[in-house]
Amino acid sequence: MTSRWRDPVALLAVPALVYLVALYALPLLWLLAKSFVGPGGITLAPYADFFADPFNWRVVTNTLSIALWVTAVCLVIGYPASFALARAGAGLQIAMLVAIILPLSIGVVVKAFAWQIVLRRDGVVSQFMMAIGLWDEPQRLLFTETGLVLGAANIFLPFMILPIYSVVKLIDPRLDEAGATLGATPVYRFLRVTLPLTLPGVVSGIAFVFSMSVSMYVIPSLLIGDRFQTLSTLTGRSFLFMRNEQLGSTTAVILLALAVGIVVGSSWLARRLGSTS
């Protein structure tokens, strides 16, 4: 161990380590300590008070339900899109990759404000729904849960497509042809061949999107407002407006536990699926 740290190459990691400890580890430790410290010392009372309030349970439900809906929409759209991307020709594939990756260079705030314009009563979505005859009059999707899901899914969609695409492009297309020559139906080939091979990418994409959806703050603040509270927005309100550092620390730790659990669980599942496929 001593000789390893004497290696000059290992010293290159010291600046990154100091940066992570100073800007991530120490603030997280402060949040964790703040959530367990009360007037009388170390206590679990903040967590007991949090889970004893029905409003806080509704906040947790809002957080998980929105994250699940956003993840489901991204999976439904991103799964076939990843196949189209993997099977496209070289020129079209480059164009599709640029179209998927380029929006990531735009800030979340800018995209959220753009979705405010799209989702308002006279926005693109309302006009389109009226044009195809599904709506008789303009309707507002802004400041609704549906609008929040649509806006968040659009922003997080690349994080679903790219992990699945990275797995799909490694699948030999001749496997499907081999199954067809053996008399397997398209549904059987998909369920028994294609889907199992793509599950590691699917799990990674779900983990990315769900972990970001469960902790998003700017998007719900701009697209649905304060009437719909999630753990992240409640954390922000506790620190910025209510000046309740203990409540903010408690909600932040709960949110961190959810995110870490998702990442660890998905990593374990992805390794299991990768080893069995």
Q: For 252-275, how does the pLDDT look when each residue is reduced to its tens digit (9 = 90+)?
A: 999 988 888 888 888 787 777 666
Q: Look at residue 233 in the predicted model and tell me its pLDDT.
A: 93
pLDDT tens digits along 62-92: 999 999 999 999 999 999 999 999 999 889 9
Q: Mind giving me the DSSP string for 67-99?
A: HHHHHHHHHHHHHHHHHHHHHS-HHHHHHHHHH
Q: For 122-181, how does the pLDDT look when each residue is reduced to its tens digit (9 = 90+)?
A: 888 888 888 888 888 888 888 899 999 999 999 999 999 999 999 999 988 888 888 888
**What are the structure tokens assigned to 135, written together?**
């709506």
Kindly give, in sequence order, each residue whose CB lies less than 8 Å from that of residue 270, ignoring residues fewer than 6 positions away: 200, 203, 204, 207
- Are the C-beta atoms of 232 and 220 separated by less than 8 Å? yes
> For the chain, which residues make up each domain, given as ranges?
1-43, 54-276
Mean pLDDT of 38-66: 90
Q: What is the CATH number of domain 54-276?
A: 1.10.3720.10
pLDDT over 90, % of the chain: 42
Please state, in angstroms and rounded to a whole number, the distance separating the CA atoms of residues 208 and 216: 12
Q: CA 50, CA 53: separation in Å to the nearest integer?
A: 6
What whole-number percentage of the chain has pLDDT above 70? 96
